[in-house]
Structure 1
Amino acid sequence: MTSALNLTSGSSLLAAYGALAVLLVTFVEAGLLVVGFFVPGDTLLFPAGVLCASAPTAAEHHGPYLTLWQVLLCAAVGSIAGAQLGFLIGRHGGQALLSRSRSARLKSAAARSEELLERYGRRKAIVLGRFIPMVRSVLAPLAGALRVPVRTFTVWQVVGGLLWTQTTILAGYALGKSVPGIDNYLLPVVLALVVLSALPLLFAKRRNGTSTRPDR
């Protein structure tokens, strides 16, 4: 039932809205700064790919169908359009919003995004940021606030958005095709994905902690 819908649960959103949920979540995560922290990203795209590979029969089906081409298209459109909106928001008040925010998560993600931009340059950072949770929600507004050229951001956010969404969905689809019945174990799969998604941030924090130690 809609009243029991959990907006932070990828499986709940997919069951209720199918590919439309993919469009909505990728748009919100990439474009609506603070709100983007609270919607599932990887934990929606990967299961969507798995579910596309295990399409039920008409007798078994309940709720919207998930077809691979629709999920791929919705993810691409939502991710690209959302990031472009986030960039425009950043150009028109992003710095003020970041400075006023008291969210430790937001400030941490912003710092990580700035580090990516400094370390890898604009092009690589815009692409790599798509694959890092939390950074994915902040990098577009931050790029706008830092006055990254519109052409540079647009070209590379499209490249990054397509790489992230399509590879994540297709990885889930490949797993669903190669492991029959894996859709019955989506919860542990999603939990494993959450852990894997957090590894880049953990390694970055560890590197930062090591690099700030004084030389003896």
Structure 2
Amino acid sequence: MFFNLFCTILLIIIILFLIYSLLPTLLMRGLCFRGFKKEVTDGKRYACLTFDDGPNPVYTPRLLDLLKRYRISATFFVVGVHAEKHPDLIRRMKEEGHLIAMHHYQHVSNWFLTPWGTRKQCVKAQETIAAIAGVRPVYYRPPWGHLHLFLPLAAKGFRIVLWSAILGDWRKALGKERLKQRIVKQLHHGAVICLHDDGENPGANDDAPENTLQALEEVLPEAIHDYTFVTVDTLYQISRR
């Protein structure tokens, strides 16, 4: 009897989890901005490089140096607690023309947050960044791209951004060469490429961003001849033409 009751409770929990978290993630992702493939009238090809989970004191400065060298504007979806630890890097992002967007205040999945918990994470991240950089980010990427049933309400006032390609660069074992191949393959007009400048989160490797830096070092010299790299807000405006 106890076993049957346990199985029933477990089944109810699984069903509720599917309804609240997994199914909305699968169904609602199409409503989030993920780039585009339409041609634009000015004849240029636009793409967007985005970097999640930072800032990181080791890798983010090197990444900013690299982007500055090639005059590339990128978008950083920063974690609030990391921004508090490294405010100088947040200010540098702003000064060098990058878009500061946000993950959560802490790198926690929406699957395990109530709607109020999601709202709290978003608002606290926004206020943290605003206090440092003087700008209030509105572009928001949920950690791991996890959504839930009430996210449109919980994230009201924010514009949810996912990606056209997420390349697995949080794993060191992927290696520079395979990552380089994936970047080249996924670059297209209107692409939103998701990369990482920090590897301290669950499931990631601390030194994985080294691959990302080395791969970009080899890809960007050629890519800048074919694409104009812009921030997410610019790409969004282009997509609406």
TM (normalized to structure 1)? Answer: 0.24
Structure that is richer in helix per residue: 1
TM-score (norm 2): 0.22
